[in-house]
Structure 1
Amino acid sequence: MSYSAEQFTVLKGLEPVKLRPGMYTRTTCPTHVIQEVIDNAADEALAGQATRIDVTVCEDGSVIVEDNGRGIPVGIPPGESRPAAELAFTTLHAGGKFDKTDVESAYRFSGGLHGVGVAVTNALSQRVEVEIKTRDPQGSGNGRYRLVFTQGDVSEALTRLEDCGPRTHGTRVQVWPDGQYFDSAKINIRELTHLLRAKAILLPGLQVSLTLPEQEPLVWKYSEGLAEYLAGIVADIELATPIFAGASYQDGDSNGFAKGEGAGWALCWINGAAPNPETYVNLIPTLDGGTHESGFRAGVFEAVRSFMEHHSLVPAKLKLVQDDVTGKMALVLSARVLDPQFQGQTKDKLTSRDAHKLMAQTVRDPLELWLNSHPGAGKAIADLAIQNAQARTRAAQKIERKKGSGLATLPGKLTDCESEDIQRNELFLVEGDSAGGSAKAARDKEYQALLPLRGKVLNTWEVDADQIFKNQEVHNMAVALGIEAHGFQADPDRVLAGLRYGKIMILSDADVDGSHIQVLILTLFLRHFPALLQRGHVFVVKPPLYRVDTTWRGKARKIYCEAEAERDAAIDRLRTEGVKESAISVQRFKGLGEMNPDQLWETSMCPDTRSLVPLSMTAADQAALHTRFSLLMAKQSAGGRREWMERDGWTADIDI
Structure 2
Amino acid sequence: MLNQSVQYNEDSIRSLDWREHIRLRPGMYIGKLGDGSAADDGIYVLIKETIDNCIDEHVMGFGKVIDVRVTDHRVEVRDYGRGIPLGKVVEVVSKINTGGKYDSGAFQKSVGLNGVGTKAVNALSTYFRVQAFRDGRTVWAEFERGELKQQGEDVTNERNGTLICFEPDDTVFKHFHFIPQFLENMIWNYCYLNAGLTISFNKQKYISQNGLLDLLRDKTKKDEESLRYPIIHLKGNDLEIAMTHGNQYGEEYYSFVNGQYTTQGGTHLNALKEAVVETVRRHFDKNYEVSDIRSSIIAAISIRVQEPVFESQTKTKLGSQNMSPEPNAQSVSSFVKDFVKERLDDFLHMNPAVREALKKRIEQSERERKELAGIKKLANDRAKKASLHNKKLRDCRNHLPDLKAEDRYQSTLFITEGDSASGSITKSRNVQSQAVFSLRGKPLNCFGLTKKVVYENEEFNLLQHALDIEEGLEGLRYNRIVIATDADVDGMHIRLLMLTFFLQFFPDLVRNGHLYILETPLFRVRNPKNHKETTYCYSEEEKQVSIDKLTKGGKKVEITRFKGLGEISPDEFGLFIGENMRLEPVIMEKETSVPKLLSYYMGKNTPDRQRFIIDNLRIEKDVDEVALV
**Normalising TM by the smaller chain, what interval?**
0.5 to 0.7
Tell me how far 1:53 sits from its aligned partner.
Answer: 0.6
User: Which residue pairs with 1:173 in the alignment?
Assistant: 164
The 1:116–1:107 alpha-carbon spacing in structure 2 relative to 1, beyond 3 Å, is same
User: Which residue pairs with 1:53 in the alignment?
Assistant: 66
User: Which residue pairs with 2:269 in the alignment?
Assistant: 293
Q: How far apart, CA to CA, are the structure 1 residues paired with 2:367 and 2:335?
A: 31
1:89, 1:119 within 8 Å by CA — same for their partners in 2? Answer: yes
Q: How far apart, CA to CA, are the structure 2 residues paired with 1:90 and 1:132?
A: 15
Question: Quick one: which of 377, 380, 405 aligns to 1:399?
Answer: 377
Name the structure, 1 or 2, with higher relative contact order (CA <8 Å, separation 6+): 2
Q: How far apart, CA to CA, are the structure 2 residues paired with 1:96 and 1:465?
A: 56
Structure index of larger Rg: 1
1:277, 1:331 within 8 Å by CA — same for their partners in 2? Answer: yes
Tell me how far 1:49 sits from its aligned partner.
Answer: 0.6
Tell me how far 1:96 sits from its aligned partner.
Answer: 1.3
Within-5 A mapping of 1:153-192: 153-157=147-151, 159-164=152-157, 168-192=159-183
1:178, 1:185 within 8 Å by CA — same for their partners in 2? Answer: no
Could you tell me which amino acid in structure 2 is paired with residue 241 of structure 1?
Y
1:65, 1:174 within 8 Å by CA — same for their partners in 2? Answer: yes
1:297, 1:360 within 8 Å by CA — same for their partners in 2? Answer: no
User: Which residue pairs with 1:239 in the alignment?
Assistant: 227
The 1:486–1:345 alpha-carbon spacing in structure 2 relative to 1, beyond 3 Å, is closer
- Residue by residue over 1:568-591, the C-alpha shift from the partner in whole angstroms, topping out at 9 and shown as x without a partner, is xxxxxxxxxxxxxxxxxxxxxxxx
1:149, 1:156 within 8 Å by CA — same for their partners in 2? Answer: yes
The 1:288–1:184 alpha-carbon spacing in structure 2 relative to 1, beyond 3 Å, is farther
Q: How far apart, CA to CA, are the structure 2 residues paired with 1:171 and 1:125?
A: 18
Q: How far apart, CA to CA, are the structure 1 residues paired with 2:318 and 2:175?
A: 27
Q: How far apart, CA to CA, are the structure 2 residues paired with 1:188 and 1:57?
A: 10
Tell me how far 1:349 sits from its aligned partner.
Answer: 0.9
Within-5 A mapping of 1:331-410: 331-354=299-322, 355-389=332-366, 391-392=368-369, 398-400=376-378
User: Is 1:3 matched with 2:15?
Assistant: no
User: Which residue pairs with 1:226 in the alignment?
Assistant: 212
2:258, 2:305 within 8 Å by CA — same for their partners in 1? Answer: yes
- Residue by residue over 1:539-574, the C-alpha shift from the partner in whole angstroms, topping out at 9 and shown as x without a partner, is xxxxxxxxxxxxxxxxxxxxxxxxxxxxxxxxxxxx
The 1:222–1:396 alpha-carbon spacing in structure 2 relative to 1, beyond 3 Å, is same
Q: How far apart, CA to CA, are the structure 1 residues paired with 2:236 and 2:94?
A: 38
Could you tell me which amino acid in structure 2 is paired with residue 209 of structure 1?
S
Q: How far apart, CA to CA, are the structure 1 residues paired with 2:308 and 2:369?
A: 34
The 1:378–1:274 alpha-carbon spacing in structure 2 relative to 1, beyond 3 Å, is farther
Aligned partner of residue 39 in structure 1, secondary structure: helix
Q: How far apart, CA to CA, are the structure 2 residues paired with 1:106 and 1:55?
A: 24
Q: How far apart, CA to CA, are the structure 1 residues paired with 2:457 and 2:129?
A: 63
2:252, 2:296 within 8 Å by CA — same for their partners in 1? Answer: no
Within-5 A mapping of 1:188-203: 188-203=179-194
Tell me how far 1:306 sits from its aligned partner.
Answer: 1.9
Question: Quick one: which of 245, 250, 257 aligns to 1:269?
Answer: 245
Structure 1 portions without partners, runs of 5+: 76-83, 136-141, 212-216, 250-261, 406-463, 467-483, 491-656
Aligned partner of residue 18 in structure 2, secondary structure: coil
Could you tell me which amino acid in structure 1 is paired with residue 60 of structure 2?
A
Structure 2 portions without partners, runs of 5+: 37-42, 323-331, 387-450, 461-629
User: Is 1:88 matched with 2:92?
Assistant: yes
User: Which residue pairs with 2:199 in the alignment?
Assistant: 208
User: Which residue pairs with 2:488 in the alignment?
Assistant: none
User: Which residue pairs with 1:21 in the alignment?
Assistant: 26
Aligned partner of residue 180 in structure 1, secondary structure: coil
Q: How far apart, CA to CA, are the structure 1 residues paired with 2:131 and 2:188?
A: 24
- Residue by residue over 1:448-484, the C-alpha shift from the partner in whole angstroms, topping out at 9 and shown as x without a partner, is xxxxxxxxxxxxxxxx979xxxxxxxxxxxxxxxxx9
1:265, 1:331 within 8 Å by CA — same for their partners in 2? Answer: yes
1:97, 1:115 within 8 Å by CA — same for their partners in 2? Answer: yes
Q: How far apart, CA to CA, are the structure 2 residues paired with 1:264 and 1:232?
A: 17
User: Which residue pairs with 1:631 in the alignment?
Assistant: none
2:262, 2:317 within 8 Å by CA — same for their partners in 1? Answer: yes
User: Which residue pairs with 1:127 in the alignment?
Assistant: 127
The 1:395–1:97 alpha-carbon spacing in structure 2 relative to 1, beyond 3 Å, is farther
Tell me how far 1:294 sits from its aligned partner.
Answer: 1.1
The 1:383–1:21 alpha-carbon spacing in structure 2 relative to 1, beyond 3 Å, is same
The 1:327–1:5 alpha-carbon spacing in structure 2 relative to 1, beyond 3 Å, is farther
Tell me how far 1:390 sits from its aligned partner.
Answer: 5.0
Q: How far apart, CA to CA, are the structure 2 residues paired with 1:333 and 1:298?
A: 13
The 1:155–1:206 alpha-carbon spacing in structure 2 relative to 1, beyond 3 Å, is same
The 1:274–1:267 alpha-carbon spacing in structure 2 relative to 1, beyond 3 Å, is farther
Within-5 A mapping of 1:26-105: 26-28=32-34, 29=36, 30-58=43-71, 61-75=73-87, 84-100=88-104, 105=105
The 1:188–1:88 alpha-carbon spacing in structure 2 relative to 1, beyond 3 Å, is farther
The 1:486–1:52 alpha-carbon spacing in structure 2 relative to 1, beyond 3 Å, is closer
2:22, 2:29 within 8 Å by CA — same for their partners in 1? Answer: yes
- Residue by residue over 1:235-284, the C-alpha shift from the partner in whole angstroms, topping out at 9 and shown as x without a partner, is 122100101112111xxxxxxxxxxxx31122111122367322111111
User: Is 1:145 matched with 2:139?
Assistant: yes
Q: How far apart, CA to CA, are the structure 2 residues paired with 1:125 and 1:273?
A: 42
The 1:42–1:274 alpha-carbon spacing in structure 2 relative to 1, beyond 3 Å, is farther
1:297, 1:322 within 8 Å by CA — same for their partners in 2? Answer: no
Within-5 A mapping of 1:460-479: none
1:244, 1:268 within 8 Å by CA — same for their partners in 2? Answer: yes
Aligned partner of residue 35 in structure 1, secondary structure: helix
- Residue by residue over 1:84-106, the C-alpha shift from the partner in whole angstroms, topping out at 9 and shown as x without a partner, is 22222112222111244xxxx12
1:51, 1:206 within 8 Å by CA — same for their partners in 2? Answer: yes
Could you tell me which amino acid in structure 2 is paired with residue 246 of structure 1?
L
- Residue by residue over 1:125-164, the C-alpha shift from the partner in whole angstroms, topping out at 9 and shown as x without a partner, is 00111121114xxxxxx4122111111111113x321144
The 1:144–1:299 alpha-carbon spacing in structure 2 relative to 1, beyond 3 Å, is same
User: Which residue pairs with 2:258 in the alignment?
Assistant: 282
Q: How far apart, CA to CA, are the structure 2 residues paired with 1:115 and 1:370?
A: 42
Q: How far apart, CA to CA, are the structure 2 residues paired with 1:183 and 1:163?
A: 38
User: How many residues in Structure 1 have an aligned counterpart in Structure 2?
Assistant: 367
Tell me how far 1:194 sits from its aligned partner.
Answer: 0.9
In terms of mean alpha carbon deviation, does 322-331 or 197-206 score higher? 322-331
Q: How far apart, CA to CA, are the structure 1 residues paired with 2:119 and 2:457?
A: 57
Q: How far apart, CA to CA, are the structure 2 residues paired with 1:184 and 1:323?
A: 43
Q: How far apart, CA to CA, are the structure 1 residues paired with 2:350 and 2:320?
A: 33
The 1:486–1:207 alpha-carbon spacing in structure 2 relative to 1, beyond 3 Å, is closer
2:252, 2:297 within 8 Å by CA — same for their partners in 1? Answer: no
Aligned partner of residue 171 in structure 2, secondary structure: helix
Identity of aligned residues (%): 27
| Dislocated runs of 4+, deviation >6 Å | none
Q: How far apart, CA to CA, are the structure 1 residues paired with 2:100 and 2:264?
A: 27
Q: How far apart, CA to CA, are the structure 2 residues paired with 1:353 and 1:172?
A: 35
Aligned partner of residue 400 in structure 1, secondary structure: helix
